[in-house]
Homo-oligomer: A and B are copies of this chain.
Amino acid sequence: MFTVNELALESDTPAHVVRYYLRIGLIQPAAQQENGYRLFTSNDASRLRFIRMAKHLGFTLNEIKQITQHAELGESPCDDVRKIIQHRIHENRAKIEEMMNLQERMEQALEQWDLMPDGIPDGNSVCHLIESVEGSEGHCHTET
């Protein structure tokens, strides 16, 4: 039987993360001491390791919860797992593209600003650097 701290060490997870997973019901204590301390088995440690693996693969905690609940009922979560990853691959690709666009916008701005002096704000302008950036009228919104 491990305490929270021991479970954290055993599963290579920060203790406060273990507590968070407990809070949201992603893991449950196997037992409880009289003073309220939660106790765990080595089974919980491997469960926790599974959770970290899934997170490392991009699954959200909610998805992991679904998966473990399915597994607990004896149903195979594999089909959902494949679908989720496929969806996440698309999602992530879009996000990366958006962040690369942002990156370019920022780099272009910084370069452009190199030739511009600092300015004192007046009633019309808050920061002429930011206001000088072009292309702010074309907002692209890509949904999931």
Top 9 A-B pairs, shortest CB-CB distance: A78-B118, A71-B121, A71-B126, A53-B136, A76-B118, A77-B127, A89-B106, A96-B99, A50-B126
Total interface residues in chain A, CB < 8 Å: 59
Name the contact of A106 in the complex, choosing from B57, B100, B113 (C-beta under 8 A).
Answer: B57
Cβ contact within 8 Å between B89 and A127: no
Bound-state CA distance A137–B121 (Å) is 52
Task: Find out whether the CB atom of B139 lies under 8 angstroms from the CB atom of A12.
Answer: yes
Chain A residues within CB distance 8 Å of chain B: 12, 43, 46-47, 50, 52-54, 56-59, 67-68, 70-72, 74-79, 81-82, 85-86, 88-89, 92-93, 95-96, 99-100, 102-103, 105-107, 109-110, 113, 118-121, 123-124, 126-131, 133, 136-137, 139
